[in-house]
Amino acid sequence: MDLASLCNFNKTLLEEKIKAIINKDPNLPEHYREHLSQLLFSSGKRIRPIFTVLGSYFGNADQDQVYNLAAIFELIHTASLIHDDIIDKAELRRGKPTLHTIYGTTNALILGDYLVSLCCETVSNFEFEEVYYNDFHLTDLCRSEITQQRLLFNFDITYEDYITKTKNKTALLIAASLLGGAKLAGVDEKTLKKLYIYGINLGISFQINDDILDFTQDTTHLGKPNGADLMNGNITLPVILALKDKKIKKHIRNLSKQSPIEDFNYCINYIKNSKWIKKSHRISRKYLKKAKKAIKGLKHDKKALLIEILDMLDKRTH
């Protein structure tokens, strides 16, 4: 079973809400709208909207409003991916050519900016400021990218640097999505706090898993080249751990933007088959345990669902 089915998530309703938001501007040239639609309806996992809907299960909320908020979280995530793919010079996203490779960087940038603005406008139209801005700071998301750029090919990056960046890059948006749905449903403060800590730890684990998959998964399943993070100079957890390994640390430290592909492939293949992948999995699991601990005292019949999600993420292979 996938996360959407487990959470009884209404994909059609989410898509209706996304369409309504991107269709509301009569002045947006049709070809831009088409580019946006193609990206927004191209097999994304809808993780953030699912968490918004999940949060709403802890109280009583108007489902229409919940899915409107869920759509906004998906749009802001998509905007960040448009920018991220430009920065990473990524040619593939979800197995398909990225927006900037098809329509050029200028058009992709304009569309990414447009989506960010559209989100801000929609948040105020729906009077969602309280559930959106209080727990989600777009600057933190941007700061994660600033940190990532500052630390490119910096092999002195610490575990703490990595976790802070990971929290800002992925966990905050997931936690805010969950909390937003819960707040719309009128959930009490104590429960909100537990859900937030659950979301943060789950989000960190989710990104660590993504960083592991970047090494271990084949290109077809990954929808992008294997080892792309390291090739871009993005030092993720498996690399940070492998930097303690006498057999590979020199090779890793010698890598730079100018290194030949063979040098990258040597390190990528070593890390992929090393104990550092297992160790990264153990750390990822540690965050899942923290998430479980956060909801220990929670008394609600949907708590079982939160635990099932953690079990599912533990077994995640894509």
Binding site for Mg ion (CB under 5 A): 84, 88
Gap between the Cα atoms of 276 and 215, Å rounded:
11
Residue 281 Cβ vs Mg ion, minimum distance, rounded to whole Å: 21
Residue 76 interacts with ligand FPP (CB under 6 A): yes or no: yes
Collapsing DSSP to helix, strand or coil, 5 comes out as: helix
State both tokens at 190.
């104590």
Instruction: Give the interface segment with ligand FPP, choosing from 75-83, 262-270, 277-285, 294-302 (CB under 6 A).
Output: 75-83
Which one of 141, 178, 237, 294 is in contact with ligand FPP (CB under 6 A)?
141
Handedness of CA 124, 125, 127, 128 (dihedral sign): negative
Length of the chain equals: 318
- Number of CB atoms found within 10 A of residue 260's CB: 8
Which one of 14, 61, 71, 79 is in contact with ligand FPP (CB under 6 A)?
79
Angle at 61 between CA 118 and CA 115, to 5 degrees: 10
Angle at 141 between CA 97 and CA 205, to 5 degrees: 80
Find which of ligand FPP, Mg ion, none residue 140 binds, CB within 5 to 8 Å per kind: none
Least Cα distance to 50 among 208, 181, 222, 185 occurs for 181
- Beta pairing partners, 92: 97
Least Cα distance to 18 among 63, 61, 60, 75 occurs for 75
Instruction: Give the interface segment with ligand FPP, choosing from 3-11, 42-50, 64-72, 137-145 (CB under 6 A).
Output: 137-145
Residue 145 interacts with ligand FPP (CB under 6 A): yes or no: yes
Residue 135 interacts with ligand FPP (CB under 6 A): yes or no: no
Gap between the Cα atoms of 140 and 146, Å rounded:
10
Contact between 287 and 201 (Cβ < 8 Å)? yes
Find which of Mg ion, ligand FPP, none residue 76 binds, CB within 5 to 8 Å per kind: ligand FPP
Q: Which is nearer to ligand FPP, 142 or 163 (CB)?
A: 142
Residue 237 interacts with ligand FPP (CB under 6 A): yes or no: no
Residue 218 Cβ vs Mg ion, minimum distance, rounded to whole Å: 18
Residue 83 interacts with ligand FPP (CB under 6 A): yes or no: yes
Q: Which is nearer to Mg ion, 98 or 280 (CB)?
A: 98
Residue 52 interacts with ligand FPP (CB under 6 A): yes or no: no
Residue 167 interacts with ligand FPP (CB under 6 A): yes or no: no
Residue 170 interacts with ligand FPP (CB under 6 A): yes or no: yes
Residue 80 interacts with ligand FPP (CB under 6 A): yes or no: yes
User: How distant is the alpha carbon of residue 119 from its chain centre?
Assistant: 17
Residue 122 interacts with ligand FPP (CB under 6 A): yes or no: no
Contact between 299 and 187 (Cβ < 8 Å)? no
Residue 56 interacts with ligand FPP (CB under 6 A): yes or no: no
State both tokens at 257.
């933007």
Residue 47 Cβ vs Mg ion, minimum distance, rounded to whole Å: 16
Find which of Mg ion, ligand FPP, none residue 142 binds, CB within 5 to 8 Å per kind: ligand FPP
Gap between the Cα atoms of 205 and 309, Å rounded:
12
Q: Which is nearer to ligand FPP, 171 or 288 (CB)?
A: 171
Q: Which residues bind ligand FPP (CB under 6 A)?
A: 76, 79-80, 83-84, 87-88, 90, 116, 141-142, 145, 169-170
